[in-house]
Amino acid sequence: MWITAQQTSRAQRKDRYLPEATKHPARMLPAIAAHAIGRYTNPGDIVVDPMCGIGTSLVEAAYLDRRGVGVELEPAWADIARANLAHATTHGATGSGQVYTGDATMLTDLVPAELFGQASLVVTSPPYGPGVHGQVDAQPGAGVHKRHDRYSDNRDLAHAGWQGLTEGFRQILAGCAVLLKPGGYVAVTARPWRQPRRPALCGRGKRDRGWARAG
């Protein structure tokens, strides 16, 4: 068990990330990335995040004197990831980071071949459907309102459905395998995700109207 949530996400990001980073629909908790990096790599090692978003894993790698390499589909988030890396450098981070903009299902076409077989760790947080994305505001009498819960690129895996997500992630992991050196590690965050499934007969002829769960 990783003890990574003793502080809120906001507290963990305070002064380490730019304010606009909070608008991303699904941010990795910094302490999760930092724990994985500290546990599975050494200073100077290469850490890869094929879906780096605002660059959380890259920033934490930089603070731990590693080299982060990230890929992000949407140019706006890729720009914020680069800005967060620059911010980390001005605040004492001794490592470095590089962000490539593009579709991570074609990972090996995006990153330089010199990185093949060089990464010690892949750490990433895939999307798990629109229901678990965004920020929630709940006001008495006004119900629940979600904001910052969608991406702007219609190719994103968050809205591709279960089959689209699994196939896209399979392609991404295949590319990651090319980047990993022998003995390298892969750390993937997981979360509950439910989607309606077709009613099925169960028990005494009753219909099971449960939910499929992954994560």
Sign of the dihedral defined by the CA atoms of residues 91, 110, 79, 137, in that order: negative
Residue-wise pLDDT for 144-200, tens only, equals 554 445 555 556 666 667 788 889 999 999 999 999 999 999 999 887 655 555 554
CA contacts within 13 A on the Cβ side of 123: 28
38: in domain: yes
Direct distance between the N- and C-terminal alpha carbons of the chain, in angstroms, rounded to an integer: 16
179: in domain: yes
Range of the domain at 43: 9-214
52: in domain: yes
Give the pLDDT band of residue 201 (cuts 50, 70, 90).
Answer: very low
96: in domain: yes
What's the CA gap between 77 and 101, in Å, rounded?
Answer: 9
What's the CA gap between 56 and 52, in Å, rounded?
Answer: 7
Res 139: pLDDT: 62
Res 145: pLDDT: 55
Say how many domains are in the chain.
1
Which CATH number is 94's domain given? 3.40.50.150
2: in domain: no
Residue-wise pLDDT for 32-75, tens only, equals 999 999 999 999 999 999 999 999 999 999 999 999 999 999 89
1: in domain: no
What's the CA gap between 25 and 28, in Å, rounded?
Answer: 10
| Single pTM value for the model | 0.78
3: in domain: no
